[in-house]
Amino acid sequence: MENELLQELITCNNTKIAMIILDGLGGLPEVKGGKTELESARTPNMDALAEDSNLGLSIPVRSGVTSGSGPGHLGLFGYDPVEYQIGRGAMEALGVDFDLKPDDVAARGNFCTVDDKGYITDRRAGRLPSCESEKLISLISGICIDDVTFDVRMVKEHRFALVMHGDGLGSNVTETDPLMTDTLPLEARATNKDSEKTARLVNKFLAIVSEKLKNLIPANMITLRGFAQLPKIPSFKERYGLNAAAIAVNGMYKGVSRMVGMSVLPVHGESPADEFSTLESFWSEYDFFYLHIKKTDTAGEDGDFWRKVHAIEEVDMLLPRLTALNPDVIVIGGDHSSPAVMKFHSWHTVPLLMYGKYVRADCISEFGERACTRGSLGVIPAKDIMPLVLANSGRLAKYGA
Amino acid sequence: MENELLQELITCNNTKIAMIILDGLGGLPEVKGGKTELESARTPNMDALAEDSNLGLSIPVRSGVTSGSGPGHLGLFGYDPVEYQIGRGAMEALGVDFDLKPDDVAARGNFCTVDDKGYITDRRAGRLPSCESEKLISLISGICIDDVTFDVRMVKEHRFALVMHGDGLGSNVTETDPLMTDTLPLEARATNKDSEKTARLVNKFLAIVSEKLKNLIPANMITLRGFAQLPKIPSFKERYGLNAAAIAVNGMYKGVSRMVGMSVLPVHGESPADEFSTLESFWSEYDFFYLHIKKTDTAGEDGDFWRKVHAIEEVDMLLPRLTALNPDVIVIGGDHSSPAVMKFHSWHTVPLLMYGKYVRADCISEFGERACTRGSLGVIPAKDIMPLVLANSGRLAKYGA
């Protein structure tokens, strides 16, 4: 829906909305003619809810496009993921739980090896073990140059995320990784005027880091790439009038939620059951809850069909704890497909269930890809889900007389 | 999908794609409650392929719009037919196999009859027989004025296509056909500066033609209309990274294919079987094959329900020759509907089958309009087919992290 129209129609009330996202939910059969992961899972609670719901299939970004989790979530949250793009560096920083602010500049970093002339001999410092990286990061994090601080946090092995915090920073800065060996790291260069300060300070930072690491072969230098700031994006409160909360275990999902102005709630533990406990604890405090399940995607990417099935079944068993709270609207869906047989994200449409007290139920008592094909929501862009959520919760006024 | 996004995601590989287009495929039942042409056809091979495919219905241009074959094909090839328009003159020239170049200007022409004062007495020269037209065309084709050549080729009866080839031509030129009798043919006028040379030379050409035909009543003059150039359109190679080939018998389809940069392959004969022979011969040489079947549309336009049924059955019997080549992706669809009961193109959606090694099959073992309504592709604009083809052939990279 056009932003202006949405703004004109938004009203507020006391309804409660829950959006349960099973990461990479969509799947494929293991064998030709067989069932997908979701179809194979025993999901009596989802099936019962489906009976009273609308079913459909969502397109995360555009038809045929395999979506990353970032764009996939923007779509679910009602933001066109082509209009709002989260740069690589920002994504990396969100992924390691940086509380990235709108003016911060983030980048992806690598430890690398250089010879005594400064030429890169190994772009990944021999894939430095994470425990080694941790020690080095403590040496290069927290450096302050002029009024800008450089915070560094480990991602994995030789990879880290850098966040620059200060005034007057821009992210139009070229990468310092030459993407080949036997050459010097590149200088950072600003590609617009607003990023000149950033480039200048990045080069100073690199000189300081080089000095600090110089005797620490194999990780005696770093490269930086994917400089990015968060997109300027209206919050859930501004856009929908919703006080929204996020329940997620992994950094990136918390980060994307924070970016759209959700409160990120504490989860004691890492299991879906722990996340449902958080949901119960905070139920009275927010209008909208986004609850993220990671296991489904991890199993899909690992190619473990049955682990994905079991992850879905685990969520199904927890579902009565949600329905007991009597939400006005429940969405169950995914940010993209991750079929176990492909061991990767895919372009396939994603099963979608929308329960609401006033839905015109499809009376299909099954939640699965083929069942969703028969649903009345049809095949819709993920960004169209939120307007339907708002409608079903009575939060969109009549348009025109 | 937005062009920029598509460009960003395109990758190349060695997959093979076949798009089989049955012209005017969509139909209507002969009697209320009955079956359409496609539903009536015995299509065991398409039905078996449907079982392992996604089904849906395509909208050639926009909901409710009856599409010509030109826009219908642009949509199938992934170009929005409202954004890219092929003018009437260009269409006519493509239809008679002119190898129209981007800077050429084409027009539709009529032989007409004028009296001794030059007033039009018959706009169609008594619907001159084609054999007579052929002789006259030899008199007026190949004329060169300044650096511009005027090539003329017969369409049918009194109708011909004109192509102007030379530098500095524009197509914003008014028509010379007054669309009524008892009046002089109009002068060609340029409606923008870039077309002034064209208008000037067209008027010179008309004077020469008038002189050459003056004693050849009833066809002693011509009129010209629909001046047009090809739209500036990115090629399949530029847009999709695909080496594409077209297999078609009729001029217009070869022309539209050539316009998007496909190689038009030779077909020895005119039957669908001959076209499949070409497909087999060139299978190793291209990534993408478009194969066009004309018979279905001709039968539909002739109002011959069962001839259309048989044309579909003929293609079905040839399908094993395609599947034996083991394509990664197969599309079977149409450029528009041509229901025999309407004897004309229509706005109805068009059955669409998309087979791929990684489709989440709909498990519907029938290819027909009503079966396609139940398919998971839903009702989609034809221009969204190509992104799905690219996805299914592994040619679109992941979007975002």
In chain B, the largest separation of any two C-alpha atoms, in whole Å, equals 76
What pLDDT score was predicted for residue A286?
98
Domain membership flag for residue A399? no
Cα Rg, chain B, nearest whole Å: 23
Average of per-residue pLDDT across B256-281: 96
Cβ-based contacts of B383 with chain A (< 8 Å): none
Q: Which residues pair with A143 in a beta bridge?
A: A150
Answer yes or no: is pLDDT of A401 > 90: no
Query: Does a structural domain hold residue B400?
Result: no
CB-CB contact of A12 with B32 (8 Å)? no
B358 lies within 8 A of chain A by CB: yes
Residues 6+ apart with CB under 8 A from B133: B111, B154, B157, B158, B159, B160, B219
Position A111 scores a pLDDT of 96
Full residue range of the structural domain in which residue B200 is found: 91-228
CATH of the domain at A293: 3.40.720.10
Taking an 8 Å cut-off on Cβ atoms, the answer to whether A370 and B380 are in contact is: no
Confidence label for A30 from pLDDT (cuts 50, 70 and 90)? very high
- Residue B101 lies inside a defined structural domain of this protein: yes
- What percentage of chain A carries pLDDT values higher than 90? 94
Clarify whether residues A375 and A247 are in a common domain. Answer: yes
Contact A81 B399 (CB under 8 A): yes
Domain boundary among A228, A244, A275: A228
Q: Do residues A67 and A193 both lie within one domain?
A: no
Question: pLDDT at position B95, please?
Answer: 86
User: For residue A171, which of A185, A188, A156, A154 has the smallest C-alpha distance?
Assistant: A188
Q: How many CA atoms lie within 13 A of A5 on its CB side?
A: 6
Alpha carbon A93 to chain centroid, angstroms: 11
State whether B97 and B171 are in the same domain: yes
Last residue of a domain, one of A210, A228, A246: A228
State pLDDT tens for residues B88-115. Answer: 999 899 989 898 998 999 999 999 999 9
The token pair that represents A305 in the structure block: 């069909």
pTM assigned to the model: 0.90
Q: How far B374 CA lies from chain A's nearest CA (Å)? A: 7
Mapping DSSP to helix (H, G, I), strand (E, B) and coil, where does residue A113 land?
strand
Domain end residue (candidates: B202, B228, B254)? B228
Q: Name chain A contacts of B5, Cβ cutoff 8 Å.
A: 62, 65, 82
Give the whole-angstrom CA distance, residue A73 versus residue A80.
Answer: 10
pLDDT given at position A1: 82
Establish if B189 belongs to a structural domain: yes
Q: Which residues of A touch B52 (CB under 8 A)?
A: 32
Same domain, B202 and B238: no
Contact B376 A349 (CB under 8 A): yes
Interface contact B139, partner A, CB < 8 A: no
CA-based nearest residue in chain A for residue B384: A63
Nearest CB neighbour to A63, from listed B9, B374, B388: B388
Q: Are residues B177 and B105 in the same domain?
A: yes
Q: What span, in angstroms and rounded, lies between the C-alpha atoms of B251 and B255?
A: 6
The per-residue pLDDT for B222 is 97
When CB atoms are compared, the residue of B376, B392, B397 closest to A57 is B376
Average pLDDT on A65-74 reads 96
What is the count of residue pairs from A and B with beta carbons less than 8 Å apart? 101
Say whether both B315 and B388 belong to one domain.
yes
Confidence label for A3 from pLDDT (cuts 50, 70 and 90): confident
CA distances in angstroms from B191 to A116, B87, B89, B166, B171, listed in the order given = 70, 16, 17, 19, 9
Contact A376/B at CB under 8 A: no
Residue B252 scores a pLDDT above 90 = no
The answer to whether the beta carbons of residues A70 and A86 sit under 8 Å apart is yes
pLDDT tier for residue A80 given thresholds of 50, 70 and 90:
very high
Partner A contacted by B217 (CB < 8 A): no
pLDDT tens digit sequence for B346-370: 999 999 999 999 999 999 999 999 9
Q: Closest residue of A to B386, CA-based? A: A64
Q: Do A63 and B400 touch (CB under 8 A)?
A: no
Interface of A with B in 28-47 (CB under 8 A): 28-29, 32-33, 36
| pLDDT at residue A260, as a whole number | 95
**What is this model's ipTM?**
0.88
Confidence at A284, pLDDT banded by 50, 70, 90: very high
Q: Over the stretch B194-233, which tens digit does the pLDDT of each residue have?
A: 999 999 999 999 999 999 999 998 999 999 999 999 999 9
Give me chain A's average pLDDT, please: 96
Which of B360, B370, B377, B395 would best serve as a mutation to test chain A binding (most A beta carbons within 10 A)? Answer: B360
Q: Does B9 touch chain A (CB under 8 A)?
A: yes
Query: Is A400 contained in some domain?
Result: no
pLDDT for residue B354: 98
A66 and A125 both lie in a single domain: no
HSE on the CB side for B4, CA within 13 Å?
2
Task: Please indicate whether, in this complex, the C-beta atoms of A65 and B5 are within 8 angstroms of each other.
Answer: yes
With CA atoms as reference, report the closest residue to B397 among A347, A383, A85: A347
Say yes or no for a CB contact (<8 Å) between B360 and A28: yes
For residues B71 and B104, membership in a common domain is answered with no
Question: Which of B389, B392, B399 faces A65 most closely, judged by CB atoms?
Answer: B399
Whole-number pLDDT of residue A204: 97
CA distance to partner chain B, nearest, from residue A71 (Å): 6
Report the pLDDT averaged over residues B284-313. 98
Are A370 and B363 inside 8 Å of each other by CB?
Answer: yes
Q: Which of B5, B52, B377 is facing A62, going by the closest CB pair?
A: B5
Q: Do A61 and B396 touch (CB under 8 A)?
A: no
Backbone angles phi, psi at B185, to 5 degrees: -60, 150
Q: Give the H or E element holding residue A5.
A: helix A3-9
**Residue in B with minimal Cα distance to A69:** B401
Query: How close does chain A come to B243, measured CA to CA in Å?
Result: 20
Do the domain assignments include residue A164? yes
Q: Cβ separation of A65 and B375 shorter than 8 Å?
A: no
Which pLDDT score is estimated for A251?
86
Pairing assessment for the beta strands A350-356 and A53-59 based on DSSP bridges? antiparallel
CB A337 within 8 A of CB A25: yes
In a domain, B399, yes or no: no
**Does the CB of A374 have a partner CB in chain B at under 8 Å?**
yes
How much is the pLDDT for B97?
Answer: 87
Instruction: State whether B264 and B126 are in the same domain.
Output: no
Do A98 and A173 share a domain, yes or no? yes
Q: Which residues of B touch A69 (CB under 8 A)?
A: 400-401
**A interface mutation test: which of B49, B352, B398 has the most A CBs within 10 A?**
B398
Residues of A in contact with B391 (CB under 8 A): 63-66, 347
pLDDT value of position B2: 87
Q: Count the domains in chain B.
A: 2
Nearest to B396 among A64, A69, A70 (CB): A64
A400: left (phi over 0), alpha (psi -120 to 50) or beta: left
Q: What is the pLDDT of residue A35?
A: 97
Residue B143 maps to a domain: yes
| Residue B63 in contact with partner chain A when CB distance is under 8 A | no
Q: Do A345 and B380 touch (CB under 8 A)?
A: no
Partners of B107 in the beta sheet?
B162
In a shared domain, residues A289 and A158: no
> Residue A181 — very low, low, confident or very high, per pLDDT cuts 50/70/90?
very high
Given a cut of 90, is residue B1 above it in pLDDT? no
Report the alpha-carbon distance of residue A257 to residue A74 in Å, rounded: 9
Distance of CA B392 to the CA centre of its chain: 25
Residues paired with A392 in a beta bridge: none
A343 contacts chain B (CB < 8 A): no
Specify the long-range contacts of residues B152-156, CB closer than 8 Å, at least 24 apart.
B152/B109, B153/B93, B153/B96, B153/B97, B153/B98, B154/B96, B154/B130, B155/B92, B155/B95, B155/B96, B155/B108, B156/B130
Q: Does B290 share its domain with B356?
A: yes
The answer on pLDDT for A29 being more than 90 is yes
Q: Which residues of A touch B7 (CB under 8 A)?
A: none
CATH code: domain of residue A96: 3.30.70
Does A88 contact chain B (CB < 8 Å)?
A: yes
Provide mean pLDDT across the span B33-58.
98
